[in-house]
Amino acid sequence: MTQILSLILGIALLFTTFLDAFETIILPRRATGRFRLTRVFYIFTWTPWAYCTNLIRDPRKRETSFSFYGPLSLIFLLVVWASTMVIGFALIFYGLGSPFHDALNIHGFRSDLYVSGTTLFTLGLGDVTPGSPWARELIILEAGTGLGFLAVVMGYFPVLYGAFSRREVSISMLDARAGSPPTAAELMRRHSYQGANDALMTLLEEWERWSAELLESHISYPLLCYFRSQHNNQSWISALTAILDTCALLIAGVKGHEVRQAQLTFAMARHALVDLSQIFSQPPVAGYADRLPPQRYDQLYALLCESGIRVCRDDQSMQRLAEMRALYEGYAESLSRYLCMPLPPWMPENPRKDNWLAVARLRGQAEVADQPARATPPVASLHDDHDF
């Protein structure tokens, strides 16, 4: 009876491992099932890792520790898969009565486990030999399975890192367009020059496509969500949230031709955010801290007006923006807490000089020197009315 149960358990363990690896690495769609090996692995490893890392006081060291988890989790996941395969075949050998001749006269499950390990990794030491036709055939099957499994899984590593690289390129480019960390106010301010509507529309089109690619790649390979960006003040969650903030601001209170594109980008970005929250079983958070209280909203409005941006000053503008924010901020906060990636503010909290500001200052000096008599263009006043 024990051998029959061992045989059934071994077959079930192998089937579970193959199915889990196929859904995690090869299958280009969302994997299903609450008791998958990969899901259990990340539940039992990410929570203690995040807890211990959050105890580190130095922000740089803390972020470095977080950045180790993504690549290491992929390596240890391979170890888990390989270990379950070794145990699965060992249980099958044990269920067949441990049909081996051991030079050290070690019999039972311990010998079966040794044979399974040396066979899966194609060592072929030869100190243990099969004693039945079934054992020979299973050893050939396990050796081929181990070689093919590792080759196929490791062959998908370039696919994963390619998707990660494509994601990070746009995030790095956003640094010059929206600051670091990116904020909606800085993005709007840096696109307030004459003729900037077309540039802003192009930017939103690019981020609509980026959101679609994020949805496609990170739904298929959720482990990419744990991979951190190159710089401590950047993350895919902060970039996605900043774009959603900008689209919400454009839709709720800014007049311009780019508003239509803002609606399309908002829909795709929110779709990606919601689906990724569901992947990790993270419902939207309620009662989170308001990132844009009324006093901050007044400062945001003043900054937009000073930049010459045409905004709507009716009594419902703040309410419209609040309704737009309610569509995505709960999901963003949920993912932010789970992955320990802070959300960006609406406005730069600690303004610092970056490359964009330095270049803009030098360009301004060049224009003044070139046309010293040119009058300064009028700037929108805080008290100007810009209604739809």
* pLDDT score at 23: 83
Report in angstroms the alpha-carbon separations of 109 from 2, 7, 92, 114, 372. Answer: 12, 12, 10, 9, 89
- 177 burial via Cβ count (<10 Å: 0-12, 13-18, 19+): middle
Whole-number average pLDDT of the chain: 84
Task: Report the predicted TM-score, pTM, of the whole model to 2 decimal places.
Answer: 0.82
Its sign, for the CA torsion 150, 155, 157, 160, is: negative
What are residue 101's DSSP bridge partners?
A: 129
Antiparallel, parallel or unpaired: β 100-102 and 128-130: antiparallel
Of 31-40, 199-208, 379-388, minimum mean pLDDT range: 379-388
* pLDDT score at 315: 72
Q: What is the pLDDT of residues 264-274, one digit of tens each?
A: 999 999 999 99
* pLDDT score at 246: 94
Closest residue by Cα to residue 242 from 261, 265, 215: 265
Grade residue 388 by pLDDT with cuts at 50, 70 and 90: very low
Residue 380 has pLDDT above 50, yes or no: no
* pLDDT score at 326: 94
Its sign, for the CA torsion 120, 122, 125, 130, is: positive
Q: For residues 75-97, give the mean pLDDT.
A: 91
Grade residue 381 by pLDDT with cuts at 50, 70 and 90: very low
Separation CA 12–CA 245 (nearest Å): 48
Grade residue 384 by pLDDT with cuts at 50, 70 and 90: very low
Of 8-17, 134-143, 374-383, minimum mean pLDDT range: 374-383
What are residue 128's DSSP bridge partners?
A: 102
Residue with tokens 């919601």: 274
* pLDDT score at 14: 92
Separation CA 95–CA 5 (nearest Å): 7
Angle formed by the axes of helices 329-339 and 317-326, to 10°?
50
Separation CA 380–CA 300 (nearest Å): 14
Separation CA 370–CA 362 (nearest Å): 12
Q: For residues 282-298, give the mean pLDDT.
A: 88
